[in-house]
Chain A
Amino acid sequence: DVLMTQTPVSLPVSLGGQVSISCRSSQSLVHSDGNTYLHWYLQKPGQSPQLLIYRVSNRFSGVPDRFSGSGSGTDFTLKISRVEPEDLGVYYCLQSTHFPWTFGGGTKLELK
């Protein structure tokens, strides 16, 4: 199975600040069709996860441009600028290039 390693596990932030979350995979996530199936989700307390970024860098409908995704191969980053209260929660990366699909362990974004 592809191991997805997210760092840090916990990320204290001040409102209005900027943060980055790293997600590294144990093998390349480039699919044979040329796409890279690496996605980012936010799970707010008591809620279902919600899609933020799909295929590395594409913002899902309604996601503010404060969120951006980048990376390639095995190394990916989610950046959040001008952090707002509604951004707090646990962030997960997901790879769907290889079977079985696997999630990262999560990064908890919390107030300093």
Chain B
Amino acid sequence: QIQLVQSGPELKKPGESVKISCKASGYTFTDYAMHWVKQAPGKGLKWMGWINTYTGKPTYADDFKGRFVFSLEASASTANLQISNLKNEDTATYFCARDYGGDFDYWGQGVMVTVSS
């Protein structure tokens, strides 16, 4: 069955970096793009961008240009999200989600990233 399994929760200090992973199984990883979605505590969903899992090319929404990097370990069917120079407002749950022709049919369980001094 199709699964997206994300890495565990992270507690970081402002200015530090974090890398979270999303391991896919049950399908051919390079056939479907992967998206990233942010959800701040008690808030709604915000689309961050996506990565072409065949070419490795990332596309970022404007609010996520600069400190955010999408990458792949295609041999391991894994997509990664790295956030550098963490700020308090980066505290959120980050989801990966598979692109199904313009929508998201499968989601990871989410990774809670807490930024606190």
Residues of chain A having any CB pair with chain B under 8 Å: 35, 37, 39, 41, 43, 48-51, 54-55, 60, 90, 92, 94, 96, 99-106
Residues of chain B having any CB pair with chain A under 8 Å: 37, 44-47, 49, 61-62, 95, 97, 100-105, 107-110
Quick one: given A48-B108, A48-B110, A100-B61, are A55 and B44 in contact (CB under 8 Å)?
no
State which of B61, B100, B103, B109 has its C-beta within 8 Å of the C-beta of A48: B109
Quick one: given A37-B102, A48-B95, A49-B95, are A100 and B47 in contact (CB under 8 Å)?
yes
Count of inter-chain pairs, beta carbons less than 8 A:
58
CA distance A60 to B107 in the complex (A): 14
Interface pair B47/A101, CB less than 8 Å apart: yes
Quick one: given A92-B45, A100-B47, A103-B47, are A49 and B104 in contact (CB under 8 Å)?
yes
Shortest CB–CB separation between residue B32 and chain A, in angstroms? 14
Shortest CB–CB separation between residue B61 and chain A, in angstroms? 4
Q: Write the chain B residue with the least CB distance to A104.
A: B44
Kindly list chain B residues whose C-beta atoms are within 8 Å of the C-beta of A102: 47
Shortest CB–CB separation between residue B8 and chain A, in angstroms? 15
CA distance A60 to B109 in the complex (A): 19
State which of A35, A51, A100 has its C-beta within 8 Å of the C-beta of B104: A51
Interface pair B45/A49, CB less than 8 Å apart: yes
Kindly list chain B residues whose C-beta atoms are within 8 Å of the C-beta of A90: 44
